[in-house]
Amino acid sequence: MSNLRVSLLQSEIQWENRKANLDFYSNFINNNLKEPTDIIILPEMFTSGFTMNVKQCHDSMDGETIQWMRQMSSQYHTAICGSVIIKEEEFYYNRFLWVDAVQNHVLTYDKKHLFCLAQEDHFYKAGNEKLLIEYKGWKIAPYICYDLRFPVWMRNVEQADLQIVVANFPAKRRTAWNGLLPARAIENQCYLAGVNRIGVDGIGIEYSGDSNLYNYEGEALFANQSEATIQTATLDKNKLDLYRRAYPFLKDRDLFRFDS
């Protein structure tokens, strides 16, 4: 398949209230997803908001959130993804979950760059491995929020066709959000989906949304929105492949080695 339909879900997140959030998403998707889609992307920590209250807000890999994602994936015949707080053994992770009930796939990526300014590194364990998802003929690489500021980590050595960044990116830093997303798409010659939240969280931080999809030339596919919405676009892999062949810049990229 050369085309991929991608849906970005932007909304408020009820503070530290998993059930309320999952109920909201169920109703919101039912009422607003007008056409079939291949992927539904939710924001970072979509069941809780960006909280350090890990003991109260964590879930498990066989918990309520995963079961809900399986049910939604099966009902809408689509993959669904976003990040949540997951506990494994004694550690907590800000974990991106990719659920495809049709293929019976649950894939994970743990956030590499923890946001020290909010002491995320005091409560969560960082990941150290990338994830490359192969889905319907596309290669997809997920990242989480603060990862966006680190181009070496996001360097497209895997030849991903689509990068996904799920976030709780504050309104006061929206200039960075709106600048870094197209920059990553351009330098990595791929489509890039950035999914943010809106509203005010439980500690008073405001979020402006600005979720968007960018093509490999850094062009936005939507107008930025500041309200709850589902926006869907069709991505064309043939056009991406033609562009990469015409402008084979990635072959000249610098090579990096990570020490950890």
Mean pLDDT of 104-126: 97
112 is catalytic: no
Residue 260 has pLDDT above 80, yes or no: no
pLDDT in tens, 124-155: 999 999 999 999 999 999 999 999 999 999 99
The pLDDT confidence band at residue 257, using thresholds 50, 70 and 90, is confident
Number of Cβ atoms within 10 Å of the Cβ of 178: 16
Task: Return the exposure string of 111-139: e unless at least 16 CB atoms fall within 10 Å of the residue's CB, then b.
Answer: bbbbbeebebeebbbebeebbebebbebb
Per the DSSP assignment, residues forming a β-bridge with 231 are 8
Residue whose pair of structure tokens reads 């800000």 in the numeric block? 94
111 is catalytic: yes
Strand partners for 97: 82, 108
> Which one of the listed residues 111, 112, 120, 237 is annotated catalytic?
111
Residue for token digits 């998802």?
133
The answer to whether 145 is a known catalytic residue is: yes
User: What are the structural domains, with CATH classification, of the chain?
Assistant: 3-250 (3.60.110.10)
Q: For all residues of the chain together, what is the average pLDDT?
A: 97
Average pLDDT over residues 93-99: 99
What's the pLDDT band for 50 if we cut at 50, 70, 90? very high
Identity of the residue numbered 7: S
Mean pLDDT (whole number) for 52-70: 98
Check whether 258 has a pLDDT greater than 90.
Answer: no
Query: pTM, whole model, 2 decimals?
Result: 0.97
What pLDDT sits at residue 253?
A: 84
What are 212's strand-pairing partners? 194
